[in-house]
Amino acid sequence: MTAAARPTDPAGPVGPTPADRADRSSAELIRAEEPVLAHNYHPLPVVVARAEGVWVEDVEGRRYLDMLAGYSALNFGHRHPALVEAAHRQLDRLTLTSRAFHNDRLAAFAEGLAGLTGLDMVLPMNTGAEAVESAIKVARKWAYEVKGVPDGQATIVVAGGNFHGRTTTIVSFSDDPVARDGFGPFTPGFRSVPYNDLAALEAALDETTAAVLIEPIQGEAGVLIPDDGYLAGVRELTRRAGCLFVADEIQSGLGRTGRTLAVEHESVLPDLVLLGKALGGGIVPVSAVVGRRDVLGVLRPGEHGSTFGGNPLAAAVGSAVVALLETGEYQRRAAELGAVLESGLAALAGKGVTAHRVRGLWAGVDVDPAIGTGRAVSERLLREGVLVKDTHGSTIRLAPPLTITRDELEWALAALEKVLTGTEG
Ligand SMILES: *Cc1c(COP(=O)(O)O)cnc(C)c1O
Query: Each residue of 362-411: pLDDT tens digit?
Result: 999 999 999 999 999 999 999 999 999 998 889 999 999 999 999 999 99
Answer yes or no: is pLDDT of 262 > 50.
yes
Question: What atom in ligand 1 is closest to the CA of residue 285?
Answer: 7
CA of 128 to the centre of ligand 1 (A): 4
Q: How far, in Å, from the CA of 69 to the mean position of ligand 1? A: 14
Which DSSP state fits 150?
P
In order, the DSSP letters of 217-249 are SBTTTTSBPPPTTHHHHHHHHHHHHT-EEEEE-
Residue partners of 418: CB distance under 8 A and separation at least 6: 2, 384, 424, 425
d(CA 178, CA 27): 28
d(CA 176, CA 148): 33
Among 74, 75, 130, 164, say which to mutate for ligand 1: greatest number of ligand atoms within 8 Å of CB: 164
Cβ pair 266, 232 in contact under 8 A = yes
- Residue 2's pLDDT band, with cuts at 50, 70 and 90, is very low
- Complete domains list, the chain, with CATH: 82-326 (3.40.640.10)
Active site residue 175: no
Whether 101 is catalytic: no
Atom of ligand 1 nearest to the CA of 165: 4
In the predicted structure, residue 118 carries a pLDDT above the cut 80:
yes
For residue 163, indicate whether it is catalytic.
yes
Per DSSP bridges, beta strands 244-248 and 190-193 are unpaired
CB 60 within 8 A of CB 28: no
Amino acid at 22: A
16 has pLDDT over 70: no
The binding-site residues of ligand 1, defined as CB within 6 angstroms of any ligand atom, are 71, 127-129, 132, 163-165, 215, 219, 248, 250-251, 276-277
87 three-state secondary structure: helix
Say yes or no to pLDDT of 1 above 60. Answer: no
Q: What is the pLDDT, as a whole number, of residue 3?
A: 42
Distance 2 CA to ligand 1 centre (A): 35
What does the alpha-carbon distance between residue 285 and residue 127 come to, in Å, rounded to a whole number? 6
Q: Choosing from 76, 109, 147, 163, which is the catalytic residue?
A: 163
246: left (phi over 0), alpha (psi -120 to 50) or beta: beta
Q: pLDDT tens digit string along 294-325?
A: 999 999 999 999 999 999 999 999 999 999 99
Q: Are 285 and 127 in contact (CB under 8 A)?
A: yes
Give SS3 for 357.
strand
Q: Could you give the strand order of the β-sheet that contains 353-358, starting from the edge strand earlier in sequence?
A: 353-358, 363-367, 395-398, 389-390
β strands within 132-233, DSSP E: 155-159, 190-193, 209-214
Centre of ligand 1 to C-alpha 148, Å, is 30
Confidence tier at 425 by pLDDT (50, 70, 90): confident
As to burial, measured by CB atoms within 10 angstroms (0-12 exposed, 13-18 middle, 19+ buried), residue 194 is exposed
Compute how many other C-beta atoms are within 10 angstroms of the C-beta atom of residue 28: 12
220, 260 in Cβ contact below 8 A?
no
Q: What is the pTM of this model?
A: 0.96
pLDDT 10s digits, 415-424: 999 999 999 8
